[in-house]
Structure 1
Amino acid sequence: MAAAPQETNLNRRSFLKSGSLAVASFIIVPRYVLGGPGYIAPSDKLNIASVGVGGKGLVDLERSFNNGSDNIVALCDVDARQAQEARLKWPQARFYHDYRRLLTRPEVKDIDAVIVSTPDHMHAPIAMAAMQLGKHVYVEKPLTHDIYEARMLTQAAKRYQVVTQMGNQGSSGNDTRTIETWIQQGLIGEVHTVHTWTNRPVWPQGIPTPKQVMPVPSTVDWNLWLGTAPVRPYHEAYMPFRWRGWWDFGTGALGDMACHIMDVPFRALKLNYPESVECSVGSVYVDFFEEAHFADSCPPSSVIYFKFPARDNLPAVDFSWSDGGILPKRPEELLPNETMGDKDGGMIFIGTKGKITGGMWGKNPTLLPTSRMQDTNLPPVTVPMVEGGPEGHQQQWVKACKQGHGAYTSSPFEVAGPLTETILMGNLAVRSYSYQQPTADGKDYINPGRKKLLWDGQNMKITNFDIANQFVKRNYREGYSL
């Protein structure tokens, strides 16, 4: 782009104030008229680079590209197999294996914005490096792998004044806005309890670390794929996509889906950091009474209980999350044959004057009993709608980048950061629950983490079980930093 969007707008405003348009005969002809129908001036196109261009990364690219409304100028992936379709689709784009080369080459000056769609463990260092160069960033959910990283990215977005968006596209959906309006308009009174759930994982979890060493595919740079994570031998159990179930790379079912599902109540109830968390996790048994402990892999299922304090005029909230197919009890108002949530998950809000249920992203929001949907005068939605809904999430970010810092996005880091911290605090509880400490005689293990953990959100610290704080921030491998 020829000039930063905010500079262009400022110059235009100054020009208008100068009175130079007072001459009646002076007429500005829009560029789309000069260029014909559908014409987009080159200076109005965003130059986008993407790191991690397979799978979800390809979807993010296609929706950001929007049939040529913007430019894809650089692609980066450590796996040539995953990058093949994107490289064929945008052959003019420069290709890199290492994001650090992408962001340090002279041609980086031609890049306006960066999409990050890698495994979770690489989100933060890539996004931070891009923001430090003044690039706008779109980062897939969860925003980061660690709590500390989420705090750092939130602060950096403000410091570098870039446009940001996390890839939880439901935050741009109409149903999210509907539930937010209903709750804040008091349709079910004061909400004191929320239940959320997902059917994930749909990938292996609660499994042992592979012992077999497999040859690295010729198309993969395994060292670069490991990135910030400790060195381990290659195995197909880790990639592609299966990385979600391994703590070194992913954040499990909670990290994958809570940014979609917990986001709705987080917004509607104006939640921030919880004050406590407790959980239980599904067990894996390898023999009678012999419980397996796979510290490397996320558990097959979990239930997590958050407690949020009162906020302004809003009451404290008891908040539950469950995954692995575990559901909360059906509300009594929901008839036996009526659906609760959808195939991906759902949510239930319980207030002093009623209940609301919905699916992932708050899909099909419904007052309970369902007869209330006909009997209640539903208020108009007050939160601005996004063109295209969830599928317009990437384009919303692109358009905001052109307007510059301060332009509205549905999930900027100032919102996505605290949400991600809360979600990852749930993972901290899960990992603490499974933590095994040898007994004094060395013959057995105890699980000191199976307790309620008290959380000091401002200082990112568990105050009653220091061992849990090792999961707030991990150490990067040499060559990577924030």
Structure 2
Amino acid sequence: MAEKESTTASPNESRRNFLKAGALAAAGFMIVPRHVLGGKGFLAPSDRLIVAGIGVGGMGFNDVNGVFQSGKASIGYLCDVDDRRAAKAVELFPKAKYYKDWRELFDKQGKKFDAVTVSTPDHNHAVVALAAMQMGKHVYVQKPLTHDIYEARVLTDAAKRYKVVTQMGNQGASGDGIRQLREWYDGGAIGNVHTVYAWTNRPVWPQGIPWPAAKAQVPKELNWDLWLGTAPYKDYVEKLVPFNWRGWWDYGTGALGDMGCHLVDAPFSVLGLQYANDVQASVGSVYVDEFQRGYFPESCPPSSHVTLNFPKTKKTDGPVTLHWMDGGIQPPRPEELGPNEVFGDGGNGVLFVGTKGKMMAGTYSENPQLLPTSRTAEVKVPQRIARVPGSAGGHYNQWVEACIAGPGKKELSSPFEIAGPLTEALLMANLAIRGHDIRKPKANGGDFDYPGRNIKLVWDNQNMRVTNFDDVNQFVKREYRNGYTLKV
């Protein structure tokens, strides 16, 4: 833990300690360990995880509070660019020292904490997390792990290099539902899966719109420059902070970034998926009037349907096709599902199609069911996968326990070795979506071609690039604004 004193004594010190202990014993004194004095369950301060929270409003508040509720962590430092968003955390943890710039916090207090939660908008995840890992800090990073594919690969490699404990904030990975799905599949309940559908009602924020023309006054509590971080400078506009940034490519990753890690985690875990071979997409159109399609390349589209093809894994008999649908698009209802039964959880869900049956679940893999749903109670398979204790807080508890135990000592549900490839698949899907907005003037002038709309992107995983449409490779690794770098 942070700031532990050395326990190695010189020969002279050992002799003095021995004589001192003997004198105390002769006087009738007994030295009792601190954990005994504190009673059952007591943790000495040196055995507690000291955590710094970066981005502590909204989900960031849930993260620092969830870590604190484990009972084995102290929130020593808070950092947020917006005092309004940080107010709740500051009130709950009044003894935590507060900063606005995470770089200043790391420079001044880096020796005084053990672990970091990163809950900023997507575009700043990687720089904060990598800097923390390079300091030897354990990290908990909100989903999606990163904004770009390159960043995800860097963080995955860094977790191994720096030997720190990592966890992505897709809490369903620690739930019972995903383990039940794995047990059904491993037990042969639906045969070999070849097709998976995942869908969401997101976005629930504006997408497919032009960047606002009017700039606005920056709220006095917000440091706009720090909020922008790695992203290109733009004037502040209304309603971007704290939530609608998700629909803009400079900061967010759209519906895939918001819900993909919750929904696609199940097929990755159940089927052992890793990296996709290729991807294609269709997107919903936005019209500025009845004759003209809107062209808003800075904004994610209002809906999309993406098809990812994965190679055979150790848990499948052949390739797997995964369909992602957002903006309210859903796959056809399975014939085995009753006409009045809920598909997934209504707005979101995942459906596995196997050679001998089907199974589905909702967000976070909750309420897993075999189809027809009557099979859920009828099919019995052994419970072979240990459940994560702690109910809704189990994902945080698991990370805290692993941090205290040290790297490699305890199992984690979403370490970067799992979260990295999952995030890359989702961001690869976004490459296909963004390819739709790449346009080039036609040779005869006066109009545009959109070459990315009718092709399948072929992926070279080793070199992290699309081999047949170079225009989208600019989105694999973006350029950071001056003052920010991903120091590998």
Query: Number of matched residues?
Result: 461
> In 2, distance between residues paired with 1:273 and 1:28?
56
Ranges in structure 2 where 5+ consecutive residues have no aligned partner: 8-29
- Deviation (angstroms), 1:343: 3.8
Q: Give the Cα–Cα distance (whole angstroms) in 2 for the partners of residues 334 and 199 of structure 1.
A: 20
Please report how far the alpha carbon of residue 333 of structure 1 lies from its aligned counterpart in structure 2 after TM superposition: 0.7
Kindly indicate whether residue 484 of structure 2 is the aligned counterpart of residue 475 of structure 1.
no
2:3–2:111 Cα contact (<8 Å) kept: no
For 2:351, what is the secondary structure of its paired residue?
strand
Query: Helix, strand or coil: the match of 1:196?
Result: strand
Asked if 2 retains the 8 angstrom alpha-carbon contact of 1:123 and 1:144, the reply is yes
Counterpart of 1:415 in structure 2 is 418
Distance in 2, matches of 1:355 and 1:280, equals: 26
Structure 2 equivalent of residue 258 of structure 1? 260
RMSD: 1.9
Deviations 1:191-224 (A, max 9, x none): 0010110111111111110010111111111111
Deviates more, 1:311-320 or 1:143-152: 311-320
CA deviation profile, 1:159-209 (whole Å, cap 9, x unmatched)? 000000000000000001110121122211110010110111111111110
2:51 maps to 1:48: yes
Q: Secondary structure at the match of 1:290?
A: coil
Question: Are 1:178 and 2:180 an aligned pair?
Answer: yes
Following superposition of structure 1 onto structure 2, how do residues 221-236 of structure 1 map, counting pairs within 5 Å?
221-236=223-238
Are the equivalent residues in 2 in contact too, given 1:171–1:390 (CA < 8 A)? Answer: no
Q: 2:431 aligns with which of 393, 414, 428?
A: 428
1:31 Cα deviation from its structure 2 partner: 4.9
2:390 is the counterpart of 1:355: no
Q: 2:13 — aligned with what?
A: none
| 1-structure distance, mates of 2:245, 2:188 | 42
- Compared CA separation, residues 375 and 38, structure 1 to 2 (3 A): closer
Which amino acid counterpart does residue 403 of structure 1 have in structure 2? A
What is the identity, as a one-letter code, of the residue corresponding to 1:447? Y
Q: Secondary structure at the match of 1:284?
A: coil
Q: What code does the residue aligned with 2:380 have?
A: N
Tell me the equivalent position of 2:24. Answer: none
1:43-82 aligned at under 5 Å gives the runs 43-66=46-69, 69-82=72-85
Q: Secondary structure at the match of 2:288?
A: strand
* Cα deviation, residue 119, structure 1: 0.1
Q: Which residue of 2 aligns with 1:23?
A: none
SS at match of 2:386: coil
Structure 2 match to 1:245: 247
**Residue 201 of structure 2 corresponds to residue 199 of structure 1:** yes
Question: What residue number does 2:16 align with?
Answer: none
Could you tell me how far 1:29 is from its partner in structure 2?
A: 7.3
Indicate the percent of aligned positions where both proteins have the same amino acid.
57
Cα distance between partner residues in 1 of 2:2 and 2:128: 25
Does residue 333 of structure 2 align to residue 330 of structure 1?
Answer: yes
Tell me the CA shift for residue 94 of structure 1.
Answer: 1.2
Q: How big is the shift at 1:37?
A: 4.4
Q: 2:461 aligns with which of 453, 457, 472?
A: 457
| Distance in 2 of aligned mates of 1:268 and 1:30 | 45
Quote the residue 2:164 is aligned against.
162
Give the direction of change, closer, same or farther, for the CA distance of 1:340–1:280 in structure 2 (3 Å limit). same
Partner of 1:367: 370
**What are the equivalent positions in structure 2 for 1:117-136 lying under 5 Å apart?**
117-136=119-138
- 1:270 lines up with 2:272 in the alignment: yes
SS in 2 for 1:60: helix
Shift of residue 344 of structure 1?
Answer: 4.4
Instruction: Judge which range, 300-309 or 370-379, deviates more.
Output: 370-379
For 2:288 and 2:337, how far apart are their aligned partners in 1? 39
- The Cα of 1:34 is off from its aligned counterpart by 2.1
Distance 1:390 1:262, change over 3 A: farther
Moved more, 308-317 or 41-50: 308-317
Give, in angstroms, the shift of residue 41 of structure 1. Answer: 1.1
Whether 2:408 is the aligned partner of 1:396: answer no
Q: 2:288 aligns with which of 272, 286, 298?
A: 286
* Partner Cα distance (2:285, 2:477) in 1: 26
Report the alpha carbon displacement of residue 441 of structure 1 after superposing the two structures with TM: 3.4
The 2-side partners of 1:313 and 1:45 are apart by: 39
Name segments (4+ residues, structure 1) moved above 6 Å. Answer: 27-30
Counterpart of 2:112 (choices 90, 110, 113) is 110
Q: SS at the partner of 1:356? A: strand
C-alpha displacement at 1:259, in angstroms? Answer: 0.2
Distance 1:146 1:2, change over 3 A: closer
Q: CA deviation at 1:241?
A: 1.0
What is the CA–CA distance in structure 2 between the aligned matches of 1:87 and 1:224, rounded to whole Å?
19
The C-alpha deviation readout for 1:313-340, integer Å capped at 9, x for no partner, is 6211111010111100000111111111
Whole-Å Cα distance in 1 between the matches of residues 365 and 400 of structure 2?
25
Q: Which residue of 1 aligns with 2:12?
A: none
Separation (CA, whole Å) in 2 of partners of 1:29 and 1:343 = 58
| CA displacement at 1:237 relative to structure 2 | 2.8
Report the more deviating stretch, 293-302 or 58-67: 58-67
Contact 1:63/1:392 (<8 A) preserved: no
Cα contact 1:307–1:319 (8 A) shared by 2? yes
* TM value normalised by structure 1: 0.92
Code of the residue aligned with 1:473 in structure 2: it is K
3-state SS of 2:287 partner:
strand
1:432-453: CA deviation from partner (whole Å, max 9, x where unpaired):
0222222223311111001111
1:22 alignment partner in structure 2: none
Tell me if the contact between 2:248 and 2:300 (Cα under 8 Å) persists in the aligned partners.
yes
Name the counterpart of 2:21: none
Match of 1:187 among 189, 193, 196: 189
Query: Deviations along 1:393-427, whole A, 9 cap, x unmatched?
Result: 11211111001111321100000000000010001
